[in-house]
Structure 1
Amino acid sequence: MMKPYIQLTDLHQAATDAFCDLANQCIASNGLFRVSLSGGSTPKRLYEMIAQRDLDWTRIHWFWGDERNVPSDSPDSNFKMVREAILDKRKVPQANIHNVPVNVDDPASAALAYERTLREHFSDQPMPAWDLVLLGMGDDAHTASLFPRTKAIDESSRWFVENWVEKFDAFRYTLTAPAINSGKEIWFLVAGDSKKTALANVFSENQRPNEYPSQLIRPTRWFVTQDACPDSLVR
């Protein structure tokens, strides 16, 4: 059960407050805050609001949970979106920015290179110990770039892979489900009435992750707008 937000602005405000509180707690406790970012329109506004806050930007490390197989200056690039929303505005140290080294012609090599980056950063750990993983969800119940009926859904040993998505006739890059579920905090941001059926399917007792990949994820918190939330899930 969940308590949805009436307006999208309410969701963004709550998520911004929660993000900043968690960042400050992690920095105070461990000296670092390591976050895996999501693409999409709902997280974009969150990032813009986070950029307006007073945080210790030198202590936050930014990673990407998924990326499109496009150059970093493409309007479709998740990295470009985050760079414009946060990184450029707050002059985040380059050493704290860990974006996917996209290789349009060889996505497999790019995915392996990014996995090496993750393993070096989270050394001696079986899976990456994110302080926070931010996720969106599509109206087909995909999350990150784990799309229905794609190979990456079944990956259990890799952290990060290239994933062929037939509906786009293109490769995407994505964290695997185990690498997402290793996060200490995992938050879904879901908005809009087009997501209502997908959300109902994700919470269905009928577990079909090949059809509804978000069922693979074990989130710690849901930020959901009222129009996206099925009546059966409202508390």
Structure 2
Amino acid sequence: MDLKIYKDKQEVAEQFSSYFVDQLKGKDAFYVALSGGSTPKIVFDVLAENFAGKINWSKVHFYWGDERCVPPSDDESNYKMTVEHLFSKIEVPKENINRILGENDPVNEAMRYANLLEIDLDRVEEVPQFDLVILGMGDDGHTASIFPHEIELWDYEDHCVVATHPDSGQKRVSINGKVINTAKEVAFLVTGASKAEKVKAVVQKTEGSDAYPASLVNPSSGKLVWFLDEEAAAKLNQNPS
């Protein structure tokens, strides 16, 4: 695992954007699973501002690692956030944007999206392979929409699963752990002091950390990069109390 620690959320976004652009070099097509959240929002702003005209966006194929089961017009929609902060500001073919249809029946949509991934992506041992999966991590150690109370969804047979938020009960459609770990590269974007405890647990594999879905991210390629700000990384390399 490669740990990259920067001063603040803005610098994380700028450095990740440069990393993302580097990933595209020399590739005719690039398949990426996006994440929602406050840090990706800034990343999309940076990509739009600094790279809108410098990238051939027609070779980038966008998917999502998870989506809330809401219409695309809803403020909670990961898709809507990406449109507002990135797609509305760059030239990208509509057919390159493959959203999870949050307004549809969750079970049916999970099946449809899993099938779409199988059709669109190369497969490794029958599992669709992204070039890059971008992940966040919640204060509870969840990633994508696999939460600790449903950690069994990580190894679910289907490529996409229906998850339930532990507090709101909101349904979400999420890729499973096999799809995440089959990706050629996986990048965590984690910022803020509220994440520091779980970052320490997951990165340093402290006792009990395997209860957190984020700790199960271990791509078979060996390419796992953490982009952290100083607040999120604050408890790393400290001796256990």
The residue aligned with 1:39 is 36
In the TM superposition, residue 49 of structure 1 has moved relative to its aligned partner by 1.1
Report percent identity of matched pairs.
32
Map of 1:221 onto structure 2: 225
CA gap of 1:96–1:152, structure 2 versus 1, over 3 A, is farther
Deviation at 1:157, TM superposition (A): 2.2
Alignment of 1:127-166 (within 5 A): 127-150=127-150, 153-166=153-166
Matches within 5 A, 1:1-235: 2-23=3-24, 25=25, 28-29=26-27, 31-52=28-49, 53=51, 54-104=54-104, 106-122=105-121, 124-125=123-124, 126-150=126-150, 153-203=153-203, 204-209=205-210, 211-218=211-218, 220-233=224-237
Letter in 2 for 1:13: E
- Tell me which amino acid in the other structure corresponds to 1:15: F
Pick closer, same or farther for the CA change 1:92–1:3 going to 2, 3 Å. Answer: closer
1: CA distance between counterparts of 2:190 and 2:108?
32
Shift of 1:208: 4.4
Task: Quickly say closer, same or farther: Cα 1:33–1:169, change in 2 above 3 A.
Answer: same
RMSD: 1.8
Deviation at 1:217, TM superposition (A): 0.4
Tell me by how many angstroms 1:63 deviates: 0.2
Deviation at 1:51, TM superposition (A): 1.8
Deviates more, 1:213-222 or 1:11-20: 213-222
Deviations 1:151-208 (A, max 9, x none): 6534342211111233221211111011011111100011000001111221334254
Shift of 1:129: 1.6
- 8 Å Cα contact 1:152-1:161 kept in structure 2: no
Matched residues in 1 for 2:118 and 2:3: separation? Answer: 35
Distance 1:233 1:65 in 2: 30
TM-score by length of 1: 0.90
Distance 1:166 1:8, change over 3 A: closer
For residues 16 and 123 of structure 1, do their structure 2 counterparts lie closer, same or farther at Cα, with a shift above 3 Å needed?
closer
1:46 Cα deviation after fit: 0.2
Following superposition, the deviation at residue 124 of structure 1 comes to 5.0
Runs of 4+ in 1 over 6 A off after TM superposition: none
What SS does structure 2 have at the residue aligned with 1:222? strand
TM norm structure 2: 0.88
Length, aligned pairs only: 228
